[in-house]
Amino acid sequence: MNPHGHRGRFGYQCVAGAYNVEARDIARDEPVFGLPLSNTFVYGTVRDVDGSLFLPMRRIKGGDGGHERLLLQSSLDADAIRVHPVSRRSARSTGTVRSWGDGDGAQLRSAPDVEGESFEVACTAETLSWHEGDTVALTGALVAPGLHWHLPDDARGMYYASRMFEVEGTILGREVRGFIAVDDLYMHGTIYVDDVLVGEQAELVWYTWATRYDDGTLDGGHFMYGHDRLGFALLTNERGEVTATTEIDGEVTLDSDGPWPEGITLRAGGDTWEFVPDPRGRMIDLMPIPNPQVEGRWRRVGDDRRPAHWFAWGEIAPGHGTSRRRA
């Protein structure tokens, strides 16, 4: 048996690093590495003073924007994260108007004649403003720099460019604070169908996350971990110092209630990281899916800093296993 992969394939090996954010590149419907824009994701987690979680997400497809509405999930008056009924009154993304001003600004707006609550996402190289009718009103500043990664593959390659913003504002009239990401995914087809992550069952863990601590320090970035060579740790801090490594290992521990993580441990760059699930962090209304989504917090093992606000939106894929298999 030939131990090597086919031409144009690298065992899911990724390239990961940092980039300078320029608003004119946000949501550009132009190919990158020969890959078309598949989706722009605007999403994240904020909390109110009572600790209730609010997870807004708008997914805008390349081309006509797609038919999806705002997806607002929340733990409000619940013991898990549930889809809030207000989502049904939001505008669909169909006909999204993309524009880039002469200055440093990019806007994504609902179509002028759209039914439902209109939306606008406005980004500069340093700021974000996101409004969804009377439901979402968030503004914030970039957690610099931008972070991106590329999975080269002759058939199912992906390029992912991410920007994270530390935000505050209101959701459902409640004052909230946390983090929102604006990410562009370039690939042929649709995520989780035409990719290697779920399409080839390569993924074990994928998280985008950030934590601001009471002392003003910050950790944040992206974790990817899977089979063969799939995986990286791509991290930044309050000074914008970026570290990236594809030398990563770890394991997922499942709880007794089904396909949910009791904990995740990842070892990368000389550090050991652990994921602590939020007791109300299971996104149960999205099930059944092969990659259960769970909110929580990432921290270095032994780190005793006190978190001020944080988000960790991501997933495991228990059907793919709980530890790496090498090809």
Amino acid identity of residue 148, one-letter, is H
Among the listed residues 161, 89, 86, 158, the one whose alpha carbon sits nearest the alpha carbon of residue 123: 161
d(CA 161, CA 152): 14
- Beta strand segments in 48-200, E: 53-61, 71-74, 82-83, 97-100, 106-109, 119-123, 127-132, 136-151, 158-171, 174-186
Looking at residue 183, the DSSP 8-state letter turns out to be E
Among the listed residues 121, 125, 120, 119, the one whose alpha carbon sits nearest the alpha carbon of residue 105: 125
Long-range contacts at 302-309 (CB < 8 A, ≥ 24 apart): 305/213, 305/214, 305/215, 305/217, 306/213, 306/214, 306/215, 307/211, 307/212, 307/213, 307/214, 308/212, 308/213, 308/214, 309/46, 309/47, 309/177, 309/178, 309/179, 309/211, 309/212
End-to-end CA distance of the chain: 12
CA angle 105, 109, 115 (to 5 degrees): 170
Q: pLDDT tens digits for 198-229?
A: 999 999 999 999 999 999 999 999 999 999 99
CB 44 within 8 A of CB 70: no
What is the mean pLDDT of the segment spanning 270-277?
97
- Non-local (6+) Cβ contacts of 133 within 8 A are 89, 90, 91, 116, 117, 118, 119
What is the mean pLDDT of the segment spanning 87-93?
96
- pTM higher than 0.85, yes or no? yes
Among the listed residues 127, 214, 120, the one whose alpha carbon sits nearest the alpha carbon of residue 166: 127
d(CA 263, CA 277): 7
- The pLDDT value recorded for residue 102 is 64
Q: Which two tokens stand for residue 65?
A: 């924007």
d(CA 174, CA 315): 27
Q: pLDDT tens digits for 181-195?
A: 999 999 999 999 899
Tell whether the model's pLDDT for residue 5 goes beyond 70.
no
Sequential DSSP letters for 189-200: S-TTTSSSTTTT
Tell whether the model's pLDDT for residue 4 goes beyond 70.
no
Q: pLDDT tens digits for 95-138?
A: 999 998 766 789 999 999 989 999 999 999 999 999 999 999 99
d(CA 123, CA 139): 10
- The pLDDT value recorded for residue 181 is 98
CB 191 within 8 A of CB 153: no
Greatest CA separation for the chain: 62
36-48 burial, b if ≥16 CB within 10 A, otherwise e? ebbbbbbbbbbbb
Q: pLDDT tens digits for 148-169?
A: 999 998 788 999 999 999 999 9
CB 158 within 8 A of CB 151: yes
